[in-house]
């Protein structure tokens, strides 16, 4: 059983709260996050870091709820953002602009202008054309834009192909063969200041090998760049990607990962940025759903619940595994038979778990879908005109906080106009 969960009198509790009781008050499906678990994840990174040299910039894309961002802000974390929307959320939650790094291959001129106005720490540049755009936006704003070049090291991260980002075939970063030339180009631009170099090779990495190979390639580029461009890089951005345990994975601990990065890239005088997303929040969240019906097609057993691919797309998109716990204890898991836990969306790809040993659940029973704190709600949609779920947060004090109410029909049609 994942940590933070326990059965008390046969009722599943999360962060000390009875899910049965919460579901009596809150319409399902809903997400619920546990602050304590987020705080202990943050602590694992902070305990292993030297605050004068290591900077943890939470990857907002993993879970951008304002209350979650507030927790990050209060713990002194910076942020890694990928859009103007994420920037505004961070500022609203109290993350200082000068601790924000901005990644992504398609920053628009309007987004760049917004980030310059806010005064972010640096832009992670992903192409020559983007570099020119940043230079132009900075010229117009009358400021100097601090940039870091994101290098694509052509390293296999050994993860699902859709979340691998450090290979030549991926759209991300500047190919390592071209990195020096792009640094030289940046050096000639008047309105940018070269501040660093970075990489990010993928997400849900469960081995240190890919990180080491990428860091090594970047390490080799640094002296070349510094001598050819006659400058000193101040920042090295190690990206995110540290995996979590969904099923039987055994991902490295933050301390081991940081130690490795320090061994390869800990150059005196340079600051290291880390951008964990999933690791900080993934295992701190559940999606709670209620069974609507059960049925059998031949020998296939289906359990139809009220959460669907619009609420959690990871199983459909990446064959993602999420542990499913019955909220009321149902005997020995060894006695369970296989079933498909599916949602109401009209797609055969709409499943939460496929051919998974599950108890004899009946209509009205609740299930808790684990490890959904990262890339869960943030990837939710209104497909099939389904309202997006509520997000609850168990606060550090142990209170239940409605971090986002469930959508209503009015939310669903907001912005639309009849002919
Ligand atoms: N930094 C950069 C530049 C990134 O592109 C990402 C994730 C991160 C940091 C954070 O990575 P993390 O520590 O969370 O692995 N939706 C997918 C994951 C997409 C990750 C995209 N980039 C999923 O559900 O698995």
Show the 3-state SS of 212-247. HHHHHHHHHHHHHHHHHHCCCCCEEECCCCECCCCC
Give burial (CB, 10 Å; 0-12/13-18/19+) of 414: exposed
Cβ atoms of 338 and 356 closer than 8 Å = yes
- Let me know if residue 52 belongs to a domain: no
- The DSSP secondary-structure symbol of 97 reads G
Q: Say whether both 255 and 124 belong to one domain.
A: yes
Residue 83 has phi, psi (to 5 degrees) of: -160, 165
Say if 171 falls within a structural domain. Answer: yes
Range with lowest mean pLDDT among 75-79, 99-103, 176-180: 176-180
The Cα 403–Cα 307 span in angstroms is 19
260 with 364, same domain: the answer is: no
Per-residue confidence (pLDDT) for residue 158, from 0 to 100: 81
Residue nearest atom 16 in ligand 1 by C-alpha distance: 375
**Beta strand pairing status for 285-297 and 366-370?**
antiparallel
Q: Which domain holds residue 125?
A: 104-274
Cα dist. 392→68, 278, 283, 413 in Å? Answer: 10, 18, 15, 24
In a domain, 56, yes or no: no
Which protein residue's CA is at the shortest distance from atom 19 of ligand 1?
A: 163
Which atom of ligand 1 lies at the shortest distance from residue 313's CA?
Answer: 24
Tens-place pLDDT, residues 50-62: 999 999 999 999 9
Q: How far is the CA of 15 from the centre of ligand 1 (A)?
A: 26
Whether residue 50 lies inside any domain: the answer is no
Other CB atoms within 10 Å distance of the CB of residue 27: 13
The reply to whether 254 and 128 lie within a common domain is yes
Q: State the CB neighbour count (10 A cutoff) for residue 393.
A: 25
Residue-wise pLDDT for 301-337, tens only, equals: 999 999 999 999 999 999 999 999 999 999 999 999 9
Cβ count near 142 (within 10 Å): 8
Who's near 368: CB < 8 A, 6+ residues apart? Answer: 5, 12, 14, 19, 286, 287, 288, 324, 325, 326, 327
Q: Is residue 301 part of a domain?
A: yes
> Which residues are bridge partners to 164 per DSSP?
202
Is residue 238 assigned to a domain? yes
**Domain end marker among 256, 274, 292:** 274
Structure confidence at residue 182 as a pLDDT band (50, 70, 90): very high
- Of 57, 137, 305, 346, catalytic: 346
Distance 138 CA to ligand 1 centre (A): 28
CATH of the domain at 389: 2.40.37.10
Q: For strands 400-404 and 390-394, give the pairing.
A: antiparallel
Cβ–Cβ < 8 Å for 184, 155: no
- Compute the average pLDDT of residues 122-142: 97
Separation CA 177–CA 129 (nearest Å): 17
Q: Which atom of ligand 1 is nearest to the CA of 62?
A: 14
- The residue whose C-alpha atom lies closest to atom 20 belonging to ligand 1 is 203
Pocket test for ligand 1, best of 210, 240, 369 (most atoms within 8 A of CB): 240
pLDDT in tens, 374-417: 999 999 999 999 999 999 999 999 999 999 999 999 999 999 99
Q: If you take atom 5 of ligand 1, which residue's CA is the nearest one?
A: 200
Backbone φ and ψ for 329, nearest 5 degrees, come out as: -60, 135
Q: Separation of 300 CA from ligand 1 center, angstroms? A: 35
Q: What is the pLDDT averaged over residues 113-133?
A: 97
Reduced to 3 states (helix: H, G, I; strand: E, B; else coil), residue 302 is: strand
∠ Cα 86 89 92 (to 5°): 150
Q: Please indicate, yes or no, whether residues 264 and 297 belong to a single structural domain of this protein.
A: no
State how far the Cα of 213 lies from the Cα of 190, in Å rounded to an integer: 34
90 flagged as catalytic: no
146 within 8 A of 121, measured Cβ to Cβ = yes
Across all residues in the chain, what is the average pLDDT? 96
How far is ligand 1, taken at its centre, from the CA of residue 202, in Å? 7
Co-location of 125 and 252 in the same domain: yes
Q: Does 204 reside within a domain?
A: yes
Same domain for 206 and 288, yes or no, is no
User: Are residues 218 and 188 located together in one domain of the fold?
Assistant: yes
CA of 344 from ligand 1 middle (Å) equals 28
141 and 264 co-located in one domain = yes
Q: From the alpha carbon of 241, which atom of ligand 1 is closest?
A: 15
pLDDT on residue 156 = 85
Give the neighbor-by-neighbor strand order of the sheet with 5-8: 5-8, 11-14, 17-18
Residue 375 alpha carbon to ligand 1 centre in Å: 9
Question: Which CATH number covers residue 141?
Answer: 3.20.20.10
Take atom 9 of ligand 1 and give the residue whose Cα is closest: 240
Residue 173's pLDDT is 86
Say if residue 132 is in the same domain as residue 208: yes
Q: Of 274, 294, 321, which residue sits at a domain end?
A: 274
Collapsed DSSP state (helix, strand, coil) of residue 56: strand
Is residue 143 located within the same domain as residue 223? Answer: yes
Residues with CB under 6 A from ligand 1: 59, 61-62, 80, 103, 163, 165, 200, 203-204, 239-242, 275-279, 314, 318, 374-375
* E strand map for 129-263: 145-152, 174-175, 192-198, 235-237
Confidence bin at 3 (pLDDT 50/70/90): confident
Q: How far apart are CA 324 and CA 307, in angstroms?
A: 12
246: number of Cβ within 10 Å: 21
Nearest CA to ligand 1 atom 8: 240
Please check whether residues 290 and 375 belong to one and the same domain: yes
- Which among 188, 183, 160, 176 has a CA at the least distance from the CA of 214? 176
> What is the number of domains present in the chain?
2
CA distance 306 to 293: 9
CA dihedral for 174, 175, 176, 182, sign (positive or negative): negative
Nearest to 264 by CA among 300, 222, 296, 234: 222
Q: What is the pLDDT of residue 155?
A: 87
* 218-262 residue pLDDT tens: 999 999 999 999 999 999 999 999 999 999 999 999 999 999 999
Domain boundary among 254, 274, 294: 274
Instruction: Tell me: do 395 and 294 sit in the same domain.
Output: yes
Which of 148, 47, 70, 140 lies closest to 58 in space, CA to CA?
70
Report the run of H or E that residue 85 belongs to, with start and end: helix 84-93
Residue 148 falls within a domain, yes or no?
yes
Mutate to test the pocket of ligand 1, among 203, 319, 369 (most ligand atoms within 8 A of CB): 203
DSSP for 1-60, written as a single string: --TTEEEETTEEEETTEEHHHHHHHSPSSEEEEEHHHHHHHHHHHHHT--TTTEEEEEEG
């Amino acid at each position: 059983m994942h940590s933070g969960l326990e059965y008390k009198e046969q009722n599943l509790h999360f962060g000390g709260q009875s899910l049965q009781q919460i579901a009596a008050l809150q319409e399902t499906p809903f997400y619920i996050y546990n602050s304590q678990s987020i705080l202990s994840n943050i602590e694992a990174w902070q305990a292993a870091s030297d605050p004068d040299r290591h900077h943890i910039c939470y990857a907002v894309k993993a879970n951008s709820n304002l209350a979650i961002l507030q927790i990050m802000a209060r713990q002194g974390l910076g942020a890694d953002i990928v859009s103007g929307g994420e920037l505004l959320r961070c500022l609203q939650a109290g993350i200082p602009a000068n601790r924000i790094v901005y990644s992504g291959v398609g920053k628009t001129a309007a987004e760049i202008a917004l980030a310059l106005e806010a005064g972010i720490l640096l832009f992670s540049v992903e192409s020559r054309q983007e570099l020119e755009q940043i230079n132009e936006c900075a010229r117009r704003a009358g400021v100097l834009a601090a940039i870091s070049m994101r290098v694509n090291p052509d390293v296999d991260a050994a993860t699902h192909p859709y979340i691998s980002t450090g290979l030549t075939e991926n759209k991300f970063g500047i190919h390592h063969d071209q990195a020096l030339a792009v640094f030289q180009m940046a050096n000639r631009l008047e309105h940018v200041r070269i501040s660093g170099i970075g990489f990010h090779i993928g997400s849900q990495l469960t081995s240190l090998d890919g990180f080491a190979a990428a860091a090594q390639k970047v390490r080799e580029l640094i002296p070349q760049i510094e001598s050819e461009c006659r400058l000193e890089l101040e920042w090295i951005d190690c990206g995110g990607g540290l995996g979590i345990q969904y099923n039987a994975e055994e991902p490295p601990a933050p301390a081991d990962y940081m130690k490795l990065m320090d061994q390869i890239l800990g150059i005196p005088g340079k600051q290291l940025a880390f951008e964990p997303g999933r690791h900080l929040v993934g295992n701190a969240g559940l999606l709670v759903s209620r069974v609507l019906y059960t049925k059998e097609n031949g020998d296939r057993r289906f359990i139809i619940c009220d959460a669907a691919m619009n609420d959690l797309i990871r199983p459909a998109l990446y064959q993602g595994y999420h542990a499913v716990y019955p909220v009321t204890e149902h005997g020995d898991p060894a006695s369970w038979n296989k079933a498909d836990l599916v949602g109401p969306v009209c797609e055969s790809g709409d499943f939460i778990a496929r051919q998974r040993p599950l108890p004899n659940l009946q209509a009205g029973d609740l299930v808790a879908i684990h490890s959904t704190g990262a890339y869960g709600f943030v990837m939710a949609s209104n497909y099939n005109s389904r309202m997006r779920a509520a997000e609850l947060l168990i606060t550090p004090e142990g209170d239940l906080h409605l971090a986002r109410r469930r959508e209503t029909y009015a939310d669903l049609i907001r912005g639309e106009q009849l002919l």
